[in-house]
Structure 1
Amino acid sequence: MIFHPRPSPIAAAMYQLRDLGVDAIILHGPSGCCFRTARLLELDGVRVFTSNIDENAIVFGASENLKKALDYAIEYLKRELNKEQPMIGIVGTCASMIIGEDLWEFIDDDRATIIPVEVHSGSGDNTVGAIKAMESALKLGIIDEKEFERQKFLLKKATEVEKKRGMAKKEYIKPSYDDDLNEAINVLKNLKEKNGKIACVLNAKKETAYLFAHPLIVLNKYFNCINIANLDINKGLPKIRKDAQNILKRFNVDYTIGGLDEYAITGEKAVEILKNLDVDAVIVSGVPHALPIEKIDKNIIKIGISDGPRTYHPIKEIYDYAIVELDAHAKVLGKRDIVKSRFGEILDYMLRGTAEH
């Protein structure tokens, strides 16, 4: 069992609906449910409403609350955003699902395309919420069977990576707000003075690649790097493909190992490429623990860059140096171009000084 906070299936369902292209999401529950996720998604252009159910609705039924919220959301989207046929996701919460609310009773509304996702925080792993969103999209004909099976496979693999090698591998992982920043920069400065060879690997989750590509772009300014990335523009839902296209405008890639939603399975491909490269260091940015980095030469310096204070210890177990980018996900929402990272900015400053001397 896991005894530290983990992402919610409700939040995962909301992000997956965002990827499907919804204009708005209605959370059928109290106004405080998934507050942070709701606010962050609005940075990405998704309007988030709530049915605002209270104790009275929990006892006597909340269907009327949801009807009023849906009427309001449709009118708002048509008036404020000129959406004649908006796409709206309705996402369950603990409160509405425990009392047995039926979200599917609203799908025949001819004013909008409605995608109900009956999920709550006790549904299981966070990816369960995303899979449920895909199940609803399949049932409504928004995606086909092939894409559904692909998404389901990738989401289950993402959970597998976290349970075996990431934040869900132990009952409790102490958060660390310190990392190996200074040590890693000194190593890279020494490599620069010795004309060392570097392999840069971008293995990032969806839009977080806007930030995790940044330190690798900086390294390419000072080293003759070999670049490996999960930036296949032909894989994933339309938003995922567009994000990959945007990043490729700024980051030249020598080896493409998959799409931005395939980060859980692209690690093996990256390592097979790395095994055949003559380099002094490997820097993996995004989800570095998805790479079986133990399989490459032990003499090669390994640096992992990831998000969140609970990732430090799992990454440190398999990399020589671990760098944490706090709030990476929050920083990239709504962005469509490279976002500067803490590590990248400091690295640029330090390596520029080396180059000037």
Structure 2
Amino acid sequence: MILHPRPSPIAAAMYQLRDIGVDAIILHGPSGCCFRTARLLEIDGIRVFTSAMGENDFIFGAMDKLRDVIAEVLEYLKKETPKSEKYKIGIVGTCASMIIGEDLESLIDDFDDIIIPVDIHSGLVDNTVGAIRAMDGALNAGLIDYSEYERQKKMLVCATDVEKKRGMAKNRYLKPTYEDDLEKFMNILKETDSKRKQGKDVKIACVLNAKKETAYLFSDPLLELNKHFECTNIANLDENIGFDKVRADAKNILEEFSKCGFKIDYITGGLDEYPITGEKALDYLKEINPDIVVVSGVPHALLIENLKEINPDVITVGISDGPRLYHPIKEVYSYGIIELDAHAKVLGKKNIVKSRFGEILSFMKF
């Protein structure tokens, strides 16, 4: 049992439906359920509605009310975003509607458009369960094929495994901290620049191992480091893997790197494969044997401590999101740097977003 707050399976289902490409999401529950997630997704262009269940609905049910909401949402979409093909509507359960046993599956044949029911509530522990159930609905609706379903499901299971073994779910309680090692690492970079000016060779490797759209922020440390130092760049930016949105995000970042005159030396996989791409990144790092390694995104997915086997003096830096990740990162990295609200900063973006690390580094004089 984890005592500190964890992401909600309901929110995970909503984000997965966005990636699948739904036209709208309807939360079947109280109007305040997953309010922040709904607002953030609307920044990303997804219309989110609610059936606004009240106390009477908790007792007598609200399926007829939900059918009316679906009809109204379809009418709204046809006026605002008319198109020839069928609309795709994700219907996401909440604690209230699922506890009383609302039958979301019964809605599928009630409408000519595509209804994707997601029977989910927040009591299912792992947030990735919500994403997997959204995939179940998409598979049944014929929106994805079975091979992609299996690949996606594998990634989601692996993501949970990473968090339980090395991330925010590894301890019953992780104390949050808003302090990190940013200043200490900047001093390391000053020393590195001094060595460079003395003609000494210091090998720096930058690794992007980011989760989906958060790569727009976690690419920024690589961008800024490459402006000041000659780096070897490794990234999970395969633009041929994942849903259309995930592929487009990878393509956008690669194009921005190219415009800035930087290249990725080794691509480890797609942006939705971050739980497993760390293994390929680590193998490549062992080959090049760098002196400094900076891993941005989900650094705890790399068994970075294994680099010590070939270079006991290697300096490792993990950059990630959230004040509860600092301590897990510090257990395996020399330094930990925390970016706050990374997800909120990147939603709706199509270009690299400034990171705290990148902003400070951009003002450094080397």
Which TM-score applies when normalising by structure 1?
Answer: 0.97
Deviation at 1:233, TM superposition (A): 1.0
Deviation at 1:35, TM superposition (A): 0.6
Counterparts of 2:29 and 2:224, CA distance in 1: 44
Counterparts of 1:189 and 1:102, CA distance in 2: 61
Aligned residues: 352
Q: Secondary structure at the match of 2:4?
A: coil
Structure-1 residue corresponding to 2:260: none
Q: After superposing the two structures, state which structure 1 stretch, 136-145 or 43-52, moved more.
A: 136-145
Letter in 1 for 2:64: E
Deviation at 1:91, TM superposition (A): 0.2
Structure-2 residue corresponding to 1:254: 265
Encode CA deviations 1:105-138: one digit per residue, 9 max, x unaligned.
2212444211110000012300000000111111
After the TM superposition, list the runs of 4 or more consecutive aligned residues in structure 1 that deviate by more than 3 angstroms.
none
Structure-1 residue corresponding to 2:290: 279
Letter in 2 for 1:70: I
Q: Secondary structure at the match of 2:233?
A: strand
Q: Secondary structure at the match of 2:173?
A: coil
- Percent of aligned pairs with the same amino acid: 66
Contact 2:114 2:141 (C-alpha < 8 Å) held by counterparts: no
Counterparts of 1:104 and 1:303, CA distance in 2: 47
Contact 1:200 1:225 (C-alpha < 8 Å) held by counterparts: yes
Counterparts of 2:45 and 2:344, CA distance in 1: 14
Q: Secondary structure at the match of 2:332?
A: coil
User: CA RMSD of the aligned region, Å?
Assistant: 1.0
Counterparts of 2:314 and 2:65, CA distance in 1: 59
Structure-2 residue corresponding to 1:27: 27
Q: Secondary structure at the match of 1:302?
A: strand
Tell me, yes or no, if structure 1 residue 327 matches structure 2 residue 341. Answer: yes
Counterparts of 2:347 and 2:72, CA distance in 1: 25
Structure-2 change in CA distance of 1:139 and 1:111 (3 Å): closer
Structure-2 residue corresponding to 1:118: 119
Deviation at 1:104, TM superposition (A): 1.5
Deviation at 1:139, TM superposition (A): 1.2
Q: After superposing the two structures, state which structure 1 stretch, 105-114 or 182-191, moved more.
A: 105-114
Tell me, yes or no, if structure 1 residue 237 matches structure 2 residue 243. Answer: yes
Structure-2 residue corresponding to 1:307: 321
Aligned residue runs from structure 1 range 27-106, under 5 A: 27-84=27-84, 85-106=86-107
Counterparts of 2:138 and 2:110, CA distance in 1: 16
Deviation at 1:23, TM superposition (A): 1.2
Tell me, yes or no, if structure 1 residue 225 matches structure 2 residue 239. Answer: no
Letter in 2 for 1:282: V
Q: Secondary structure at the match of 1:159?
A: helix
- What stretches of structure 2 of length at least 5 have no aligned partner? 197-201, 258-262
- What stretches of structure 1 of length at least 5 have no aligned partner? none
Counterparts of 1:166 and 1:91, CA distance in 2: 27
Q: Secondary structure at the match of 1:315?
A: helix
Structure-1 residue corresponding to 2:137: 136
Q: Secondary structure at the match of 1:90?
A: strand
Counterparts of 1:204 and 1:276, CA distance in 2: 22
Contact 2:38 2:48 (C-alpha < 8 Å) held by counterparts: yes
Counterparts of 1:182 and 1:98, CA distance in 2: 49
Letter in 1 for 2:31: S
Counterparts of 2:149 and 2:104, CA distance in 1: 21
Encode CA deviations 1:19-61: one digit per residue, 9 max, x unaligned.
0001110000000111110000001000000000001011011
Structure-1 residue corresponding to 2:355: 341
Letter in 1 for 2:49: F
Structure-1 residue corresponding to 2:11: 11
